[in-house]
Amino acid sequence: MRSTRLGRIILSLAGTVLVWSQGASAQTFRVDDPVIRQMWAEGMEQSQVESLAQILTDYIGPRLAGSPNLDAAGDWALGKFREWGVPARKEEYGTWEGWQLGITHVDLIAPRVHTLEAHVLAWSPGTDGPMEGDVLIVPEFSSEAEATRWLPSVAGKIVLVSPPEPMCRAPHELETNTTPETVERLAQRRAALQQSYGERLTLFGGRGAPQQFADAGAAGIISSTWSGGWGVNKVFSASTRDIPSVDLSCEDYGLLFRMAENDQAPRVRMNIEAENLGEAPQFNVLAELRGSELPDEYVLLGAHLDSWHSATGATDNGTGSVMMMEAMRILKAAYPNPRRTILVGLWGPEEMGLIGSGAFREDHPEVMEGLQAAFNQDNGTWRIERIEAQGLLYAGEHIARWVSAVPDEIAQHITLEFPGGQNNTGSDHVSFLCTGAPAFRLQSAYDEYRQYTWHTNRDTYDKISFDDLRNNATLAAMLAYGASEDPERVPRDRAILPIDPRTGEPRAWVRCSTPRRSSGGE
């Protein structure tokens, strides 16, 4: 373990990016700081991240808002914190629509037999035993009146409500292995299919079409949201609670669409076990090491505990949750009496709109007032590679000091961007940044995550890079230590954000939104 010299600091000023490659000055800690050394030993040599991730993803599994699995995950995390001697609690803030999925089977039964790769859309009803129906595509219409006359024909049918993909190969493979002309022709064909089928559905309310079909007596809805990768779909919630709704893989959806389009009479059997459980209490899990000198000032480590349901939420956001749990374990072992209070928040339904973190902000104004720094992680498995000051004018000096104490083996991978342009506003740090509080996103590599594991049916344990997860948990503990020991508060002065090309004016500061306290409203 070596002392660190920061290799890359980006200063972003009104949209201009300057790169400074000198080492950061004014190190906060000595190279032989015993706390840093013990954190390294705990986090890198005695890590528990593999066992934590295995239980959370394999044993507990997907953690949809309102589901018993999310409740079980909260109880498990609470038990682990207490096992480590860290005071912790579940803090309820509202309710959400409870739903539990059981066994799912969707099969093509004519003109041939084929088991389809299907995932039930969240909060869809089940089938009450096996149910069969002919597959129907929405035809082209010459007028709205013709569409209205056609609508009753959906009765008893299973309706396809997505445009088909002309090819389900990952785009980068296509670009590598065929001609630019072929790539362009496929792109044009995809655009034409999307436009054509979109126009057909527009006659039935566009996104509201599934409900219209349900009202007209359709037996089921099939859609497909391909993620642009091999075998990967993004799976969200049903557009109607009246009839079963499933997502099919890109390949299987195309199969049904082509058969229906060519009058080959595809017929599907569905057997779906799903139960609506009514409104279920929702919560954040909070763990705390009380500050010994400044108990009313706070360092907050956060990640969301919920996930979508078609896989096990390994990288969105099992890795973030495990990272912050492990960071607290490291802190308890190496820094049990922090100067400032250190909190870990495992947030409730982020996927429904930053709800858990937003509720925490509203319920704990004292934490917002006393917040020294919040660090949130919510994007996949790879090691932290960027920390942006999120538009806070003078926060960079503090972040640089904290990172300067982190060993080279970790710090060499990190780019610091000051003051930053709030380049990603889709995660829980925004719930605090919107007040002007110092809240930072610990950013990992993004593109592969967005394509392959973000909200997909492939977000599973095998996708986790545990070397990186150990690295990240140790980094989070060290950053919390640095922020806790900092002799000064992080200033809240705001920089001028980069120009918004749509308006020609500086970007507006992120705004706080009111968290929904129930699935039926606020």
Reading the block at residue 377, the tokens are: 């992680």
258-286, pLDDT tens digit by residue? 999 999 999 999 999 999 999 999 999 99
Neighbours of 505 (CB within 10 A): 9
Is residue 8 pLDDT above 60, yes or no? no
Rounded distance between C-alpha atoms, residue 75 and residue 339, angstroms = 29
Output the pLDDT for position 9: 58
Is residue 65 pLDDT above 60, yes or no? yes
DSSP letter (8 states) at residue 196: H
Residues of the chain with CATH 3.40.630.10: 9-15+26-87+290-506
Burial 104-125 (b: 16+ CB within 10 A, else e): bebbbeeeeeeebbbbbbbbbb
Is residue 10 pLDDT above 90, yes or no? no
Query: Any idea how long the chain is?
Result: 522
Rounded distance between C-alpha atoms, residue 321 and residue 56, angstroms = 9
275-324, pLDDT tens digit by residue? 999 999 999 999 999 999 999 999 999 999 999 999 999 999 999 999 99
**How would CATH label the architecture of 99-278?**
3-Layer(bba) Sandwich (3.50)
What band does 32 get if pLDDT is binned at 50, 70 and 90?
Answer: confident
Is residue 4 pLDDT above 80, yes or no? no
Neighbours of 324 (CB within 10 A): 31
Output the pLDDT for position 520: 79
Q: What's the maximum distance between 2 C-alpha atoms anywhere in the chain?
A: 79
Residues pairing with 375 in the sheet: 301, 440
Which secondary structure element, helix H or strand E, spans residue 146, and what is its range? helix 144-150
Which secondary structure element, helix H or strand E, spans residue 282, and what is its range? strand 267-289
Cβ(492)–Cβ(392) below 8 Å: yes
Neighbours of 435 (CB within 10 A): 15
Neighbours of 263 (CB within 10 A): 7
The pairs formed by 137-145 with CB atoms below 8 angstroms and a separation of 24 or more are 137/257, 137/260, 137/261, 138/197, 138/200, 138/201, 138/204, 138/209, 139/200, 140/196, 140/200, 141/200, 141/203, 144/203
Q: Considering the chain, what percentage of its residues have pLDDT values greater than 70?
A: 94
Does the domain formed by 9-15+26-87+290-506 have CATH 3.30.450.20? no
Cβ(210)–Cβ(204) below 8 Å: no
The distance from CA 522 to its chain's CA centroid, rounded to whole angstroms, is 22
235-263, pLDDT tens digit by residue? 999 999 999 999 999 999 999 999 999 99
Cβ(510)–Cβ(433) below 8 Å: yes
Rounded distance between C-alpha atoms, residue 78 and residue 7, angstroms = 38
Rounded distance between C-alpha atoms, residue 74 and residue 460, angstroms = 19
Is residue 412 pLDDT above 60, yes or no? yes
Output the pLDDT for position 36: 97
Lowest mean pLDDT among 24-33, 327-336, 346-355, 390-399: 24-33
Output the pLDDT for position 24: 39
Output the pLDDT for position 14: 42
127-155, pLDDT tens digit by residue? 999 999 999 999 999 999 999 999 999 99
Cα-Cα-Cα-Cα dihedral sign, residues 48, 351, 512, 446: positive
Reading the block at residue 246, the tokens are: 């499933």
423-450, pLDDT tens digit by residue? 989 899 999 999 999 999 999 998 889 8
Output the pLDDT for position 22: 35
Output the pLDDT for position 380: 84
Is residue 5 pLDDT above 80, yes or no? no
What band does 337 get if pLDDT is binned at 50, 70 and 90?
Answer: very high
Is residue 15 pLDDT above 70, yes or no? no
452-461, pLDDT tens digit by residue? 999 999 999 9
Up-side HSE of residue 504: CA atoms within 13 Å toward CB? 0
Output the pLDDT for position 26: 38
Select from 500, 510, 441 the least CA-distant residue to 15. Answer: 500
Output the pLDDT for position 16: 38
Rounded distance between C-alpha atoms, residue 140 and residue 147, angstroms = 8
161-189, pLDDT tens digit by residue? 999 999 999 998 999 999 999 999 999 99
Cβ(370)–Cβ(298) below 8 Å: yes
Q: What is the pTM of this model?
A: 0.93
**Which residues make Cβ contacts (< 8 Å) with residue 337, sequence separation at least 6?**
289, 292
Residues of the chain with CATH 3.50.30.30: 99-278
What band does 194 get if pLDDT is binned at 50, 70 and 90?
Answer: very high
Q: Considering the chain, what percentage of its residues have pLDDT values greater than 90?
A: 91
Helix axes 395-404, 466-485, angle to 10 degrees: 120
The CA distances from residue 314 to 35, 191, 323, 455, in Å, are 30, 33, 12, 10
* C-alpha torsion angle, residues 305, 306, 311, 312 (rounded to 10): 30
The C-alpha angle with vertex 262 and arms to 260 and 267, in degrees rounded to 5, equals 30
Cβ(252)–Cβ(90) below 8 Å: no
Is residue 23 pLDDT above 60, yes or no? no
